[in-house]
Homo-oligomer: A and B are copies of this chain.
Amino acid sequence: MQKFGGTSVGDVDRIKAVGDHIARTVRHGNQVVAVVSAMGKTTDDLLRLANDVSSTHPGRELDMLLTSGERISMALLCMALADLGVPAVSFTGSQAGIITDTDHTKAKIVEMRPDRLLEALSEGRVPVVAGFQGVSLEKDVTTLGRGGSDTTAVALAAALGADFCEIYTDVSGVFSADPRVVAEAHKIHKISFEEMLELAASGGRVLALRSVEFARNFGVPIHVRSSFTWEPGTWVQEEDETMEQAVVSAISHDVTEVKVTITGVPDRPGIAAKVFREIADRGINVDMIVQNTSIDGFTDISFTVPKDDKAACLEVTRAVSAEIGAREAYADSGIGRVSLIGAGMKTHPGVTAMMFEILAKEGINIEMISTSAIRISCVVRQDDVENAVRALHEAFEL
């Protein structure tokens, strides 16, 4: 299984290069299934057209529009392969048997029926599959949402029993920190599914969270690598003995969220549930949540949400605040998040303390904290994020 993202098939020359690479893989005796995204900025261009033509974008029609992008790149890739003497055949999500629910623009896969892919493979042909798309139980075209092409590739790899899933992208792998922030950041050669999940959830942009979940659930090793250099990248796989048990494997950061705070919340059972139910009903994803210790029967609640949802979230939060008798609700856009990720943390309880000490030494104030077994995240001022990443990267000797 080889998946090629938008920049990997960004123009005619890139498509030819991808064709060469697949041809070489086939000549080495491998069976290959390729999954492609739309070319470069195609999806953005289509969205702009939609905005120009109408302010109403029914999900079904938006999906119909956006799925045209992969048809173009996959047909072109098949032509490039034909030129190289490699018989290839393209399949839409529907033809590839990717059956989803009817939740347009963010459909979930409910079943895989890759019969036509198996048939093509048995005939010695390379199936080229449109990423990001499926067909619903009601026979409408659906899309899988952000990062959907990665999910397509991993789900197909699982359904076809592929040895592994190669994700070709514009970076050469998963790094110990963002190389644009930390010049010394190094490429990680192996990382466990669990660490990668935490990394994807805390701002790592390389793999979509859902695809990693899929890979972990079905035990499909992922190899993230560059389609520009073709050099080996990062393996994402089951934790094993050969994996170095570093306390901290990587540091991620994220500046795409805002912090919303409600002050003077009456500390009664069910109040917090009410707040987050109303927010969830608006389709807003809440990330970190922190509730202070109650003083005199009142508490403060802070949580982070994506910047795009700030206005909608404030609106609903203020309405609920009035209803429950809280003092006020406000949003703070000037925050960022820094996370330490490492499977070794489980057995090293001192990491949290060390992280706080390093940040304190840099004069960086911590506003929120959230931890899991293998991750610690701190919300800090956005201006401090890069300093924090660099200091932590150096201190943990990555």
Q: Which of B52, B60, B72, B116 contacts A68 (CB 8 A)?
A: B72
Q: Which residues of B contact A89 (CB under 8 A)?
A: 60-61
Mask: chain A, 35-61; 1 = CB below 8 Å from B; 0 = not: 000000000001001101111111011
The reply to whether A53 and B72 form a contact with Cβ atoms under 8 Å apart is: no
Asked if A65 lies at the interface with its beta carbon under 8 angstroms from chain B, I say yes
In the assembled complex, which residues on chain B have CB atoms less than 8 Å from the CB atom of A67? 71
State whether B58 touches A65 (Cβ < 8 A): no
Report which residue of A12, A50, A74, A75 has the largest number of chain B beta carbons within 10 angstroms of its beta carbon: A75
Q: Which of B68, B78, B139, B140 is close to A58, meaning CB atoms less than 8 Å apart?
A: B78
Query: Which residues of B sit under 8 angstroms from A80, Cβ to Cβ?
Result: 53-54
**A324 interface residue, CB < 8 Å from B?**
no
Indicate whether A79 sits within 8 Å of B95 (C-beta atoms), given known contacts A65-B72, A71-B68.
Answer: no
Complex Cα distance, B92 from A46, in Å, reads: 18
Interface bracket on A: 35 or more
In the complex, A187 Cα to B141 Cα: how many Å? 43
Segment 1-19 of A: residues with Cβ below 8 Å from B: 12, 15-16
Verify if A64 is at the interface (C-beta below 8 Å from B): yes
Known pairs A61-B79, A68-B72, A71-B68; A53 contacts B90 (CB<8 A)? no
CA distance A141 to B49 in the complex (A): 25
A16 → chain B, closest Cβ, in Å? 6
Quick check: A54 and B82 within 8 Å, CB to CB? Answer: yes
Most B Cβ at <10 Å: residue of A61, A67, A88: A61
User: How far, in angstroms, from A327 to B61 measured CA to CA in the complex?
Assistant: 62
Flag if A95 contacts B61 (CB, 8 Å).
no
Are A49 and B61 in contact, CB atoms less than 8 angstroms apart? no
Considering the complex, give the chain B residue whose CB is closest to the CB of A67: B71
Residues A12 and B72 in contact, CB atoms below 8 Å apart = no
- Residues of B contacting A88 in the complex (Cβ-Cβ under 8 angstroms): 61
Q: What's the nearest-Cβ distance from chain B to residue A114, in Å? A: 14
A64 pairs with B53, CB closer than 8 A: no
Say yes or no for A118: interface residue by CB 8 A criterion: no
Take A46-B72, A64-B74 as given contacts and tell me if A139 and B95 are in contact as well, using a CB distance cutoff of 8 Å: yes
Contact with B along A67-106 (1 / 0, CB 8 A): 1110110111011101100001110100100000000000
Instruction: Write out the residue numbers on chain B whose beta carbons fall within 8 Å of the beta carbon of A62.
Output: 75, 79
Roughly how many angstroms separate A68 CA and B65 CA in the complex, as a whole number? 9
A71 & B64 in contact (Cβ 8 Å cutoff): yes
Can you name the residue of chain B whose Cβ is closest to the Cβ of A15? Answer: B53
Contact A49 B83 (CB under 8 A): no
In whole angstroms, how far apart are the Cα atoms of A65 and B54 in the complex?
26
A117-175 interface (Cβ within 8 A of B): 139-141
How far is it, in angstroms, between the C-alpha of A88 and the C-alpha of B60 when the chains are bound?
10
CA distance A61 to B82 in the complex (A): 10
Q: Which residues of B contact A90 (CB under 8 A)?
A: 60-61, 64
Lowest 10 CB-CB distances: which A-B pairs, in order?
Answer: A65-B75, A54-B79, A68-B68, A56-B82, A64-B75, A68-B71, A54-B83, A61-B78, A12-B52, A61-B75
Can you list 17 contacts pairing A with B, beta carbon distance less than 8 Å?
A12-B52, A16-B53, A54-B80, A54-B83, A56-B79, A56-B82, A58-B78, A58-B82, A60-B90, A61-B90, A62-B75, A64-B71, A64-B92, A65-B75, A68-B75, A71-B71, A92-B141
